[in-house]
Amino acid sequence: MVARFERNQWKYRNHPKAYRVTLLDAGHLGQTFALSATEQGLGVFITGAINEHCITRSLGLRAGAEGAVAVCGIGPRAATTLHAELTVEGLVGS
């Protein structure tokens, strides 16, 4: 997920917490992504533990004006699990 910080700064120009709103929006989108993937029987991950500098350079983003806030992934679930996972049917695995 990439944010255009300038847009939120403009939209919330009289609000000192525009950056916080950006991160909250990313969290809401991530949760919707995870719920939708789970409903489809797919595995999903979301992380904010990313190297923003490398992503900014790789995607050609304008540092300070645009930036990565999270990475999301989706795919088929493994046939067996090593850890408990939450699925549409409930908690499965060890």
pLDDT of 94 over the 70 cut: no
pLDDT at 7: 82
Average pLDDT of the chain? 87
CB burial string 52-85: b at 16+ within 10 A, e below: eeeebeeeebeeeebbbbbeeeeeeeeeeeeeee
pLDDT at 16: 75
The single residue listed with the structure tokens 């809401």 is 28
71 or 18, greater pLDDT: 71
94 or 13, greater pLDDT: 13
8 Å CB contact between 94 and 81: yes
* Residue 58 belongs to domain spanning: 2-92
